[in-house]
Structure 1
Amino acid sequence: MKQVVLFDLDGTLTDSSKGIMASITYMLKELGLEIPADDVLRSFIGPPLSLSLGNLYGMDKEAAQKATLIYRDYYAEQGIHELEVYPGIAETLADLSKDYTLGLATSKPAPYAEQIIGNLGFADYFTGVFGADMDGRREGKATIIKDALTHLTDDLSQVVMVGDREFDIKGAKENGIASIGVLYGFGDLEELQSAGADRIVENAGDIPAAVRELL
């Protein structure tokens, strides 16, 4: 059985800030809520949308689910296409896929993640795409990583998670696997260090060497 590398999507493979922030702005306008500054909007990228809505607007689960449906009205039509692949990602995936089993573990709903990976021409690199479900029953990075591990391997010593936010690193730790934090995404050095990343890299091109150091 090959060793496994799990990748986050937003902030790790793609800069999806434009589409996500536009979708959030649309949602907040439709709900008549105040539009926060861009740095606050960017904080929505990574964690489950319901978590951010609860923290910033005090929404309960039912209200957050209704807001999420409005968000998806825009995202499914426009936001999903408003992204860019980070430099070096295509080469990194091509390199690692030769020797490792690659999986995608994202807090984004799995159908959206599958569509994005397909649109980018990356589908052949990944053995599995694991994400939240559309009704919110399965969300949170630790839960999604656990789902990926269930399908891909039973040897936790042979798995590493690559992501840009504390949620990726903490989710890896909760599942007993190693982690690599990337600095080009939406997190920063302090966040990744505090979360306990085993390795931290500056560029996508540095990921393969970090993977080979850990596995």
Structure 2
Amino acid sequence: MIKNLLIDLDGTLTDPKVGITTSARYGLNKVGYVVPEDANIDWIIGPPLKASFAKILNVAVDDDLAEQALLGYRERFSVTGLFENFVFPEVEATLAVLQQQGFRLFLATAKPIIYARQIMQHFKLDQYFTELYGSELNGDRTNKGDLIAYILEQQQLNITECLMVGDREHDILGARRHGIETIAVEYGYGSAQELDQAQPMARIQNFAQLLEYCSVN
């Protein structure tokens, strides 16, 4: 019986495309790398950003250039980018129903919690969650498996009573590492091929369909 829902933020609850990609271009430009206007960098939405910057810059993840690009990104994102964002259809209404039915909702995002908390409060989604969890600015818990381990420990959750909801393979694989079933949303930023390979328990086309998999016994 599912009692606890671990829910991703970017690409699952909200669409952060404009804020993240514009801030990423800004950060990369600060280190001398100009991303062509016609280049699609939507794939950076969801995974740890520093690793994505390192891939774009063709350097190691611990290279100072990737760190400087990340700092440039945060310079813009922390002021403007985090609000260049919108809530996906049916998300708030669905969260309200889940809360009313007694489910405990936990935000589980690789985004630094300092930003995630502001976004959740801005869109008034925090009211539906028992607790919000994210990464730290120093890089701790950007790995989704590590983040879920931290949530399980902090909340003393039984894995058989948990379900992870997200849009990328990182959500699915991170949850699987702990024996937690997953539901993937197909409207996010994980490609069909990515989700095919990750093999979540189920896939939904809109957030409201989550209710079909969460029943109160």
By the TM > 0.5 criterion, same fold? yes
The sequence identity of aligned pairs, in percent, is 36
| Equivalent in the alignment of 1:196 | 199
State the number of aligned residues.
214
Deviation at 1:34, TM superposition (A): 3.1
Structure 1 stretches of at least 4 aligned residues deviating more than 6 Å after TM superposition: none
1:104-183 → structure 2 map (5 Å cutoff): 104-183=107-186
Measured after TM superposition, the shift of residue 36 of structure 1 is: 4.7
Q: Secondary structure at the match of 1:180?
A: strand
List runs of 5+ in structure 2 lacking aligned partners.
none
Rounded to whole Å, the distance in 2 between the matches of 1:211 and 1:59 is 43
CA deviation digits over 1:72-129, x for unaligned, max 9? 0000111011001000000110011122100000010011001111111111111111
Partner of 1:52: 52
Which segment drifts farther, 109-118 or 52-61?
Answer: 52-61
Normalising to structure 1: TM-score of the pair? Answer: 0.93
For 1:207 and 1:153, locate their aligned partners in 2 and report how far apart those are by CA, in whole Å: 24
- C-alpha distance in 2 between matches for 1:112 and 1:20: 12
1:2 CA drift (Å): 7.7
Residues 3 and 101 of structure 1 are in contact (CA less than 8 Å); yes or no, is this contact kept in structure 2? yes
Which is worse superposed, 59-68 or 125-134? 59-68
Structure 1 Cα separation of the partners of residues 140 and 4 of structure 2: 26
What residue is the counterpart of 1:97 in the other structure? 99
CA shift at 1:202, angstroms? 0.5
Q: Pick from 73, 79, 82 the counterpart of residue 71 of structure 1.
A: 73
| AA at the equivalent of 1:4 | N
Which runs of no fewer than 5 residues in structure 1 stay unpaired?
none
Secondary structure at 2:133 match in 1? strand
Deviations 1:193-212 (A, max 9, x none): 21020010011110111233
Normalising by structure 2, report the TM-score. Answer: 0.92
In structure 2, distance between residues paired with 1:39 and 1:195: 26
Contact 1:160–1:180 (CA<8 Å) still a contact in 2?
yes
CA RMSD of the aligned region, Å? 1.9
Counterpart code for 1:160: L
Distance, in Å, in 2 between the alignment partners of 1:157 and 1:205 is 23
